[in-house]
Structures are given as structure tokens and as C-alpha cells.
């Protein structure tokens, strides 16, 4: 199956199994590898996504099209504030 026929690729940035596993920085390299191979459709990142890791993605220029901030949002005491903070970081890029 040619890479360009895959509509979305999800990269896991933690070892799957439970929430709270540590973020695997090296997983971000896969974004650049996919782009280098000519993949131009959607790349999602799932696992350990929070303000700090989104800033890390931006600083490394390994930026996915979709982020899945699961527990960062679901465990927030103030969801609206968390969303605003995340939007501020993303929009500053």
C-alpha cells in the first residue's frame, strides 16, 4: 500500500497501556521521517500531549496536524482555561 493512500497516521508518543506513561521524545522523529518520505496528509500524535510537550514539538519543528491531549483535558479542574492555554501555545507558532 503506497504511503500516500493512507489518510491519517497516528504516532504514539507513549508506550500504550495506561494514561500517565512518560512522553517518548524520540517518537517525534517519525513526523520528520514521514514528511521526508513524501507523506503530506494528516499526522496525529497521541500520548502525553500537554503544554510542555506541544512546546517541545514546536521547538523541534516536528509538528503534527492533530494532537490528542486526552488526559491533559479530561483531568483538568478548569477545562476552559486548559483549552485557552493550549490554543495560545498553538497559535503562537
User: What is the tens place of the pLDDT at every residue in 10-46?
Assistant: 999 999 887 778 999 999 999 999 999 999 999 999 9
Top CATH class of 3-92 equals alpha beta
- pTM value is 0.89
Average pLDDT of the chain to the nearest whole number: 94
Averaged pLDDT for residues 49-64:
96
- pLDDT of res. 3: 86
Q: Give the pLDDT band of residue 4 (cuts 50, 70, 90).
A: confident
Helical H segments across 1-93, by residue range:
29-36, 51-59, 70-74, 79-92
The rounded distance, in Å, linking the Cα atoms of 26 and 53 is: 12
Contact 64, 86 (CB under 8 A): no
- pLDDT of res. 1: 75
Amino acid at each position: 500500500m503506497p504511503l500516500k493512500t493512507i489518510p491519517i497516521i497516528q504516532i504514539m508518543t507513549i508506550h500504550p497501556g495506561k494514561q500517565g506513561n512518560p512522553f517518548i521524545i524520540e517518537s517525534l522523529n517519525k513526523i520528520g521521517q514521514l514528511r521526508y518520505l513524501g507523506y503530506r496528509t494528516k499526522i496525529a500524535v497521541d500520548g502525553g500531549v500537554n503544554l510542555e510537550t506541544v512546546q517541545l514539538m514546536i521547538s523541534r519543528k516536528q509538528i503534527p496536524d492533530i494532537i490528542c491531549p486526552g488526559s491533559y483535558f479530561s483531568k483538568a479542574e478548569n477545562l476552559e482555561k486548559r483549552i485557552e492555554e493550549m490554543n495560545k501555545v498553538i497559535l503562537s507558532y
